[in-house]
């Protein structure tokens, strides 16, 4: 299965395409960040992001699109732009009849790090480890988009097409995180 992860943002929109491989492994296909300048009118900014989304969908033909679920914090203007870009991603996928899933930030963090409270650096580190990358994906928007795609590939047991796990069993990401922590303790 090929998944396009979209970390929506009006200034920077992360786009990450990941293939699911046997054994709950993942392979990087594409990562980029669509950008728009804050000085442009909002409609022009949305048009730039929409073009990048369309190109990514056209070039990589994902089986599913995973978009970060927008939630309101304190800055309503930021949330508005993020929601508008999320809507663009959903419409672009729907136009191609590609299923769309929304994942919360804590759900994504838990899927790739084992903790829903992981910070950006932990997410970047685990995305690099899970995809076998030599360098951390940057900026954080790129790592977040890849994490969204991985999260969707590894959605919880019982979800449509997801493999069943034993209750209490660790996810692949949780096992790799524990191994990394043990290795760090041995080096210290």
> Active-site positions?
7, 68, 141
End-to-end CA, the chain = 39
The CA-CA-CA angle for residues 71, 121, 149, to 5°, reads 55
Residues 6+ apart with CB under 8 A from 52: 13, 15, 32, 34
What span, in angstroms and rounded, lies between the C-alpha atoms of 46 and 36?
8
Residue 54 is labelled as binding a ligand: no
Query: In terms of C-beta density within 10 A (0-12 exposed, 13-18 middle, 19 or more buried), how is residue 38 classed?
Result: exposed
Residue 19 is labelled as binding a ligand: no
Residue 119 is labelled as binding a ligand: no
Q: Annotated binding site, which residues? A: 7, 68, 141
Q: Which residues are annotated as a binding site for Mg(2+)?
A: 7, 68, 141
């Amino acid at each position: 299965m090929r998944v396009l992860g979209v970390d929506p943002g009006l200034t920077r929109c992360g786009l990450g395409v990941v293939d699911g491989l046997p054994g709950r492994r993942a392979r990087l296909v594409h990562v980029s960040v669509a950008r728009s300048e804050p000085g442009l009118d909002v409609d022009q900014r949305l048009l730039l992001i929409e073009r990048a989304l369309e190109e990514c969908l056209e070039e990589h033909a994902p089986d599913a699109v995973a978009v970060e679920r927008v939630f309101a914090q304190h800055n309503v203007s930021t949330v508005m732009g993020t929601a508008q870009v999320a809507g663009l991603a959903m419409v672009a996928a729907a136009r191609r009849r590609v299923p769309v899933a929304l994942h919360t930030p804590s759900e994504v963090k838990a899927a790739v790090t084992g903790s829903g409270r992981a910070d950006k650096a932990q997410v970047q580190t685990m995305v690099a480890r899970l995809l076998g990358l030599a360098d951390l994906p940057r900026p954080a928007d790129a790592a977040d988009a890849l994490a969204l795609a991985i999260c969707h590939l590894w959605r919880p047991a019982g979800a449509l097409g997801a493999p069943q796990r034993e209750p209490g069993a660790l996810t692949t990401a949780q096992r790799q995180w524990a191994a990394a922590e043990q290795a760090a303790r041995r080096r210290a």
